[in-house]
Amino acid sequence: MATLKVKFISTDYLKENTTIEENVDDHKLVPFIYSAQDTHIQQVLGASFYNRLKEGVVNNNLNSDEEDLLRDYIQPALAQWSFYEVYPFLNFKATNKAISKESSEWSQASELDEIKYMRQSIRDLAEFYLKRLVKFLCDYTHLFPKYQNPDSKDNLPKNSKAYFNGVYLSRQKPKWDIPTYNEPDEGPDGCYDC
């Protein structure tokens, strides 16, 4: 099956739901919508359910639960992840001559520390929306058969972790008896995985 090129949000939606200015060219944003959708959203949904939603958009046959999921949970998370991905590149232009930094006579370039701080703030918000999406999917798994029972050859299984802290801590009990912190228990049985 050929890979479908489907965006779950438009550039207008991205601009309306982030601080990206209206004058930013859409063609600069579109690649980052695709990459955020493929890397962050697909990872949570799993390839089977992700592809089902893309096919449903193309064929206009999403059921009401899938439409609600897309509108209320996937789109807000995708907008923030797209903003996170595009943020460092809004001020740069890649041409056949060089990578150049754009500026105007009425603006001042930001310092690297300011950019890192702002990007981390965007990531925090994106992770919040992704956690909302994961929690909803875990609570209402029965509404989405392709999420609950992915294809056996699903090349990207779903991952119900919304946050990444940069350090991997094994879930196995260490040989020494020192408690470690992993992720808060969210489910009724103390397990956040669906």
Whether 161 maps to a domain, the answer reads no
Whether 193 maps to a domain, the answer reads no
Whether 110 maps to a domain, the answer reads yes
pLDDT of residue 164: 54
Q: Domain range holding 96?
A: 11-148
pLDDT of residue 33: 96
pLDDT (tens, 9 = 90+) of the chain, 194 residues, equals 457 789 999 999 999 999 999 999 999 999 999 999 999 999 999 889 999 999 999 999 999 999 999 999 999 999 999 999 999 888 777 777 777 676 666 666 777 788 889 999 999 999 999 999 999 999 999 999 888 888 766 555 566 555 555 555 555 555 555 555 555 555 555 454 55
Q: Which tokens is 46 given?
A: 């799993």
Q: What span, in angstroms and rounded, lies between the C-alpha atoms of 158 and 48?
A: 9
Closest CA to 169 of 187, 116, 161: 161
Q: What span, in angstroms and rounded, lies between the C-alpha atoms of 33 and 12?
A: 12
Whether 190 maps to a domain, the answer reads no
Whether 175 maps to a domain, the answer reads no
pLDDT of residue 94: 73
Closest CA to 75 of 129, 28, 39: 129
Whether 189 maps to a domain, the answer reads no
8 Å CB contact between 13 and 42: no
Closest CA to 14 of 100, 162, 112, 122: 122
Amino acid code (one letter) for 9:
I
Total domains in the fold of the chain: 1
Whether 74 maps to a domain, the answer reads yes
Q: Which tokens is 19 given?
A: 């601080």
Residue 132 main-chain phi, psi, to 5 deg: -60, -45
Residue 93 main-chain phi, psi, to 5 deg: -130, 130
Q: Which tokens is 173 given?
A: 């009990």
Whether 162 maps to a domain, the answer reads no
Give the global pTM.
0.76
Instruction: List alpha helices for 107-156, DSSP H.
Output: 112-139, 145-148
